[in-house]
A and B are shown apart, each in its own frame.
Chain A
Amino acid sequence: MLKKIPKTNEMYLIIVIIIYSIIVTMVNKSFMSVENVFDILRSGTGQAILGVGVLIVLLSGGIDVSFTAIAISSGYIAVRAIMALGIDSLLLAFVISCTVGLVFGAINGIIIAYFKIPTLIATLGTLNLFHGLLLTIVGTRSVNAAQMPKCFINFGAAKIFTLTTARGSTIGLSVFIIPLIAVILFTWFLLKYTMLGRSIYAIGNSTESALRAGINVVKTQLFLYCYVGFINGIMGVITVSEVRWVNPVYLVGTELTVIAAVVIGGVKLTGGSGTITGALLGVGLITILNSTLVLLGLSSSWMDLFVGAIMIISIGYTSYQRKIENQRLLNFM
């Protein structure tokens, strides 16, 4: 029974998503329309990429709360740099954004790996540090759609393919899905088939055992925070392109929602266990909730209530099983 939990956890999520989708569709037919599904995919991309980053850090036994600051900083700096340079190139935007992400990630990695500061404390510090740097040095001015360089606007509007609906309007699948799939495939391969990935799991299980096994813990931590910074940089470009408007205080403050989504996906907050499928399903569930409450006629304040309830139920259920098991074993911890 116990050993099936990780597998069934993902099954539960799929079932919950399906049941919820059926309910929403019954109330409002437009939910299952191709247009709406494409819309949800587009708006969920950024969250999914952030979720992948959160997953990696959680697996290694850490908690990172600075990722929103990294993402918005890299996105905002990319926009301002492109505006200043006058070179309207999406590629350059990605290069700038990912470099900023990588540097910030490296700062996290150095603080955590070399100075052995608990990850939550370190990243609480860097969350404010990165965001403070952005606001004081780069500026607080928001950039609206009219000022925004064309490369971001075009990227935000680009579609992989388009369909024409019966009513004659065209809908399409956003290109955002391409970087998302790239991140997912690469991370999946990294976590499952490379020694570096397995080292991340090993460290999350027990740093002491990992050291004794000859794993280079410092190198692994350094790598993973750099990698997470890098993908946060990708998210930075996507998020500014999606909303076609950028405000440097956007995103910051939503860290816990993303972490909650990943934990709902069955990833252990204490490290060492979790899958990318689970993390994505968790993010998917939250994204669907977020975009459908309106269809159900509920105000967006219901969102917090739902996320909280799902989290308490899913974590409560696993803890309850653990408690029963402990009682059986006469363990009173």
Chain B
Amino acid sequence: MENKLLIAKNISKSFSGVQALKNVDITINKGEVHCLVGENGSGKSTLIKIVAGVVTPDEGEIVINGNFYKKLGAIDSIKEGIQVIYQDLSLFPLLSVAENISLNQLVEEGRKVINWDEIRKLAEKELKKINIKLNLEEKVENLSMANKQIVAIVRALTQDAKLIIMDEPTSALTKTEVDSLFSIILDLKQRGISTLFISHKLSEVLEISDKVTVLRDGNKVGEFEEKELDNEKLIFHMTGKTINESTFKYDKEKFKEKPILEVKELTKADHFRNVSFELKAGEIFGLTGLLGSGRTELALSLFGLNPPESGDIIVDGKKKKIKSPKDAIKCGIGYLPEDRYRQGLFLHQSIGDNIIVTIIKKVLTLFGLISESKKIKQIEKWSSELKIKAASLFDPVESLSGGNQQRVVLAKWLATNPKIFILDGPTVAIDIASKAEIHKMIRDLAEQGIGIILISDEISEVLHNCNRIGLMEKGEIKEIINPLKYSENQIYNKINKKN
């Protein structure tokens, strides 16, 4: 019993009639790395908020360090040593590292007057505990994402954290940064500090956790030892179905041999150099590599947002200068950006307006004004084609789920009738079931004769959905491989230079 840090029993919670959690249990031991997984809407965030005392459950009881709580408040939770690191990290970007680390502690102590020496010493001491050096005077906004995360973790440690809850901490980190985050988590574990880790990336879940609790639709599916699980089992528990990853086959006979896109010796200093490849109609060409390997930079160049310094882009046998997205669209190129919230969509605008934004010229009347009837026709056509599920097409895009939002981005580009479609991370932060549907859609597009460039850092995604894969490293395509000849692990090792 002493080993139990947190026991939450029979937790139920509903929000205005919608049951978010039903009789869910979770137990976290001291020094344990516990993962909480589940699809969007499975109740993960509600459970975290209940443990943090921010949300009060309708039913259930919580025991922390042997203390029983019928109604756990946020202050109780902090006093018991529970610290939540939210996805936005809750830092103060324009204040120094030292102040960011120490401020919460000083607020908690109820200080009135500040001693800057003490702030620095406190920050230094806590950083030393996890053997990390940061410039204490640096403003937090100038730090890398990984260092910001470290500041947030160290801040949690200043408040005597016994359990640190991390909400998707790895989504903005590179592979190396994830590794160093994991070593910090393991270090905390050594010191008896538990971590509750929430992630969408299953390989990470399997790598770091001792125990995994799976939620689905507000119910607890089960608590598993890490040893009992593998990728497929985890997917099955999360979705309730098995998802078959078949392999994409390129139909050579169906399309002409001549490439629709040729890239020759494309170079931009510090971004990529001597990149050459070709793309035929009906192909799905994968591009993978570590974050910072130049994949996105290259994609942006093809779409005119990051003009290259030298080299040629040849579309349909003709050399093209692509200096802006306008040029790219004229060449029949579409681009689905990695960050759909900021770059792919107008979140507050309606679903319909988002779909027709690329083809406004096609829905004009004779006088150059927008024709409502032509507009509706296009919107209906594309939303039914892509099976966008929405209560009304006049609702803002932000009201849709991630999967449906991505369909809107796909729709808006397909409306332009592209010959070449660049997809950068098309399934980032999309739950597993919708992911499979989007993969199917991409393959269908290829079958219709669109040439697709699929960029992803998920190796299984490119492995199953591409007929050729370019491996990028430090701005160069090192190798173009046939996915049929490699396993996921072999590609992983190639990218990470482990032989």
Residues of A within 8 A of B (CB): 2-3, 192-199, 201-202, 204-206, 208-210, 212-215, 268, 272-273, 330, 332-333
Stretch at the interface among B85-93, B172-180, B221-229, B475-483: B85-93
Residues of B within 8 A of A (CB): 78, 86, 88, 90-95, 99, 103-104, 106-108, 111-116, 137-139, 142, 296-297, 300, 305-306, 342-343
* Cα–Cα, bound, A333→B343 (Å): 8
Main secondary structure of the interface of A (DSSP, over half): helix
Known contacts A2-B142, A213-B103, A330-B296; decide if A193 and B113 are in contact (CB<8 Å). yes
Residues of chain A lying within 8 A (CB to CB) of residue B94: 201, 204-205, 268, 272-273
Partner among A192, A196, A214 whose Cβ is within 8 Å of the Cβ of B104: A214
Contact B342–A333 (Cβ < 8 Å): yes
- Give the distance to chain B from A321, nearest Cβ to Cβ, in Å: 13
Known contacts A193-B113, A214-B108, A332-B305; decide if A198 and B90 are in contact (CB<8 Å). no
* Cα–Cα, bound, A273→B297 (Å): 32
Contact B114–A195 (Cβ < 8 Å): yes
- Give the distance to chain B from A11, nearest Cβ to Cβ, in Å: 17
Residues of chain A lying within 8 A (CB to CB) of residue B137: 3
Chain B residue nearest in CB terms to A5: B139
* Cα–Cα, bound, A36→B99 (Å): 43
* Cα–Cα, bound, A201→B138 (Å): 16
* Cα–Cα, bound, A201→B113 (Å): 15
Known contacts A201-B95, A212-B90; decide if A192 and B139 are in contact (CB<8 Å). no
- Give the distance to chain B from A211, nearest Cβ to Cβ, in Å: 9
* 28 residue pairs A–B, Cβ–Cβ below 8 Å: A3-B137, A3-B138, A192-B114, A193-B113, A193-B115, A195-B106, A195-B107, A195-B111, A195-B113, A197-B114, A198-B114, A202-B92, A202-B103, A204-B94, A205-B94, A205-B95, A206-B90, A206-B92, A206-B93, A212-B86, A213-B103, A213-B104, A268-B94, A272-B93, A272-B95, A330-B297, A330-B300, A330-B306
Residues of chain A lying within 8 A (CB to CB) of residue B108: 214
Work out how many contacts link A and B, with CB atoms closer than 8 A.
71
Q: What 7 A-B pairs are tightest by C-beta distance, nearest first?
A: A205-B92, A209-B90, A273-B94, A272-B94, A213-B104, A214-B107, A212-B90
Partner among A2, A194, A210, A332 whose Cβ is within 8 Å of the Cβ of B114: A194
* Cα–Cα, bound, A228→B404 (Å): 49
Partner among B93, B107, B138, B306 whose Cβ is within 8 Å of the Cβ of A205: B93
- Give the distance to chain B from A26, nearest Cβ to Cβ, in Å: 40
* Cα–Cα, bound, A195→B111 (Å): 6
Contact B92–A209 (Cβ < 8 Å): yes
* Cα–Cα, bound, A61→B109 (Å): 25
Partner among B107, B116, B138, B300 whose Cβ is within 8 Å of the Cβ of A215: B107
Known: A195-B106, A196-B112. 4 other contacts (CB 8 A): A3-B137, A193-B114, A213-B103, A272-B95
Known contacts A3-B138, A209-B90; decide if A195 and B305 are in contact (CB<8 Å). no
* Cα–Cα, bound, A316→B112 (Å): 38
Known contacts A3-B139, A192-B114; decide if A198 and B99 are in contact (CB<8 Å). yes
Known contacts A330-B296, A333-B342; decide if A272 and B92 are in contact (CB<8 Å). yes
Chain A residue nearest in CB terms to B106: A195
Contact B142–A3 (Cβ < 8 Å): yes
* Cα–Cα, bound, A199→B114 (Å): 11
Residues of chain A lying within 8 A (CB to CB) of residue B114: 192-195, 197-198
* Cα–Cα, bound, A192→B96 (Å): 13
Residues of chain B lying within 8 A (CB to CB) of residue A272: 92-95
Partner among A195, A213, A214 whose Cβ is within 8 Å of the Cβ of B112: A195
* Cα–Cα, bound, A91→B107 (Å): 37
* Cα–Cα, bound, A153→B137 (Å): 49
Contact A201–B111 (Cβ < 8 Å): no
